[in-house]
Amino acid sequence: MSKEKKNPIITGVLNMFVPGSGYLYVENDRNRFIKTFIGGGILIMALIVLSNAIQNIRGYSLPQGLCTGTLLLIVLVPLFLTGQKIAHLHNNMVDDTARYNERRAASQGSDDAKLGKFQKMRDEGLISETEFQKKKKDLSQ
């Protein structure tokens, strides 16, 4: 998985025009792409057939394409929002990972953390008091 942030708008638009492509763009998840592509494609085709059937009903006249466009919004809007959600979750994970690594590096490299390790070693009898004082002196320099 890549460590770069992804644009939620681009992810949403990709996911809307090619159902499931947001998963490929953000996470390179082929299984979820295939499932969403097939499911979204079937749903879009079913809505197009339904809208054509509604348009052909006698006595029920709508401007050409209005019914199709309205029904397609039922699928396209959730696809767009799902794409945005995928990108937001990915970006939050990248931010959390960066914060964790920053704090981890700071805690492992700080003098206080090292002194704590030396005190623990002294308390457990792994080093003598003399060695502890020497290491403590080396840290303060």
Convert the pLDDT of each residue in 119-129 to its tens digit.
888 888 888 88
Q: What residue segments make up the domains of the chain, in order of their start? A: 8-109, 110-141
From 83, 67, 74, select the one nearest 33 (Cα to Cα).
Answer: 83
Q: Which residues have C-beta within 8 Å of that of residue 50, sequence separation ≥ 6?
A: 71
Q: Specify the pLDDT at position 80.
A: 95
Convert the pLDDT of each residue in 1-44 to its tens digit.
447 899 999 999 999 999 999 999 998 899 999 999 999 999 99
Convert the pLDDT of each residue in 34-75 to its tens digit.
999 999 999 999 998 988 888 777 666 667 778 788 888 999
Q: Please report where in the chains the tokens 């079913």 appear, as a residue.
A: 46
Q: Which DSSP symbol is given to 58?
A: T
Q: Specify the pLDDT at position 1.
A: 45
